[in-house]
Chains A and B, each alone.
Chain A
Amino acid sequence: MSILHTVNKSPFEKSSLDSCLKLAKAGSGVLLIEDGVYGALKGTAREAQIKEAAQNLKLYVLGPDLNARGMTGERVIDGIEIVDYAGFVDLAADHDKVNAWL
């Protein structure tokens, strides 16, 4: 039974991503949306934590939310897949349930 976790808060401001990563089981998906996309960036104080999480979890980031914030794929940590809205729908459909960390 796999879960798609969505995180919409900045990891620099809220602990949502920390809590999510603690409880997300190996093989589940984590999709970073809205201010959550800041967690997907290279060169931040969070990069090491994200890279470690990526060893057991599949990480995704929503492209339109990245672009709104002036970020492009070049700034995203290697291995994190960028998805569009249709991809978001597919992810929700492909997992058994969605857990939205607010």
Chain B
Amino acid sequence: MSEEEMMDDEVVKKFMFVNRRAPYGSIYALESLEVVLIAAAFDQDVSLVFSDDGVFQLKKGQETEGVGMKNFSPTYRALEMYDVEKLYVSKASMDERGLTKDDLIVDVEVLGDEALADLMDDQDVIFSF
């Protein structure tokens, strides 16, 4: 196989993005979204995990006018258009924070720790934010 053919060969890897920070208090949540969209643009197999304070990123009804920051939560709803459809949320993290699936802006799969660990094991690349 020539070098040119190699470059044309599409390599698809399993990318997992683990989101563990609340939105707005730091730049992690927003930066993660940026990188997720880049991975999707390169047609990679993308999964998003929301655990610990990361579950707060998906809370419905974010209104940021009062704090003068951009409300980036609608982007989570747009992920589907980029073929990013594998969204997983930690059940333990939601329970600890008093959140239920009804609180979330997008449809997600709620997983226990063991399932999340298995999912993580199955990836080629993991980015933690």
Contacts and interface: CB of A to CB of B under 8 A. Distances in A.
Contacts, number: 73
Given A38-B53, A64-B67, A69-B24, A44 B96 contact: yes
Contacts of A45: 95-97
A8 interface: yes
B6 interface: no
19 contacts: A10-B25, A12-B53, A12-B96, A13-B52, A35-B22, A35-B53, A38-B53, A44-B97, A65-B66, A67-B66, A68-B23, A68-B24, A68-B64, A68-B66, A68-B69, A68-B71, A69-B24, A69-B59, A70-B60
Interface of A: 8-10, 12-13, 34-35, 38, 41-45, 47, 63-65, 67-72, 75
Nearest to B104: A70
Interface of B: 21-26, 52-53, 56, 59-64, 66-67, 69, 71, 73, 95-98, 103
Contacts of B98: 41-44, 47, 75
Nearest to A42: B98
Given A13-B53, A65-B67, A70 B25 contact: no
Contact of B63 (A10, A41, A68, A75): A68
Given A45-B96, A69-B62, A38 B56 contact: yes
Nearest to B73: A70
